[in-house]
A = this chain, B = another copy of it.
Amino acid sequence: MIVEMQRNATQSQVDAVIERAQGYGFEVQLNRGTDKVVIAILGSDTGHVPTANFEVLPGVGSVTRIMRPYKLASREFRSEPTEIRVGDVTIGGPRVVVMAGPCSIESWEQLDATARHVIGAGASILRGGAFKPRSSPFSFQGMGFEGAALLRQAGQALKAPVVSEVTDSHFVERMAQEVDILQIGARNMQNYTLLRAVGETNKPCLLKRGLAATVTEWLQAADYVLAAGTAQVILCERGIRSFEDSTRFTLDISAVPVIKRQSHLPVIVDPSHAAGHYALVPGLARAAIAAGADGLLIEVHPDPANALSDGLQSLTFSDFARLMVECRQIAEAIGRTL
């Protein structure tokens, strides 16, 4: 951390900064310029201390962070990429992993038909929503644990791991018995009780980026999950909020190479929620793989026009099959498989 004192700062103000830094156990080096004093506070744990703890002291001009405020998720903590195994599937390895299925689980028939189709077409993990956080209290809210049980059954029938969102810390234990990967949704990225509860299970966690979260805050949220014990976090970019309104969210495709530089965790992309419209999904899915994403999360429905949620962004079976062919070609063009 670098503390720049104001021009007219007194020696006792400088001393107060040094004392606080040393109180945290940090090393301090003083730079006296012609204009002002600049204090370098060094140590591998400075990332854990808010800059405001120094900005609040009298005589301080500005404070700048050098260490990033996350640690366990960083490349500096672990230089090798993390690979996460779920059943026979490895996420973060050379193979691009496709997770696909319906937005909401609506019935055994709908789920089973979709599951057979997506696994048959090349997806390796089955997704399906049991608990649906909906922006209107009057919308369909999901089948709950009953849906989760159907998902487990559908996955077992096809020997495919399953992933589903958990929306409340008190559901975590029971959901962990039904699914192979626990998903934390964008709206819960900073629900710290939930992050900890998921991190305490022995299940991998799929952590979606909050729609207003910076990459740094996202990795801090990953730190919460990792600090709770697990080593298995998969990051999922799903679009951020910007002023652009021709898409539901703005897919931050740059987050993929940025994450690859800053973190050892695998990162996948959800083009369905980012775009909000099925016609844009294939272009974004191909782009994600070309940018280096380790996988995709895609919504598919047997009859999107009659889906109970998010039909507009769901692919039909034939659209999905076509997309798998395109994605496989992109994966091979960059030396990966799918």
Contact = CB atoms under 8 A, between A and B. Distances in A.
Interface class of chain A by DSSP: mixed
A333 interface: yes
B310 A52 contact: yes
A149 interface: no
Interface stretch (A106-114, A121-129, A153-161, A213-221): A213-221
Contacts of A136: 48, 50, 69, 220, 223
A247 B243 contact: no
Interface in A235-262: 240-247, 250-258, 260-262
Interface residues of A, number: 108
Name the residue among A31, A187, A292 with the largest chain B CB count within 10 angstroms.
Answer: A31
A69 to B, nearest CB: 6
B246 A215 contact: yes
A93 interface: no
Count copies of this chain in the complex: 4
A258 B246 contact: yes
A313 B53 CA distance: 11
Interface string A79-110: 00000000000000000000000000000000
A283 B311 contact: no
Interface string A190-206: 11110010000000000
A22 interface: no
A173 B13 CA distance: 47
Given A66-B2, A251-B253, A246 B216 contact: yes
A254 B240 contact: no
Given A257-B283, A292-B283, A33 B27 contact: yes
A292 B280 CA distance: 11
B284 A254 contact: yes
Contacts of A277: 55
Given A167-B192, A214-B245, 12 more contacts: A2-B38, A34-B43, A55-B312, A141-B192, A187-B190, A187-B191, A242-B242, A242-B243, A245-B245, A251-B252, A254-B280, A256-B287
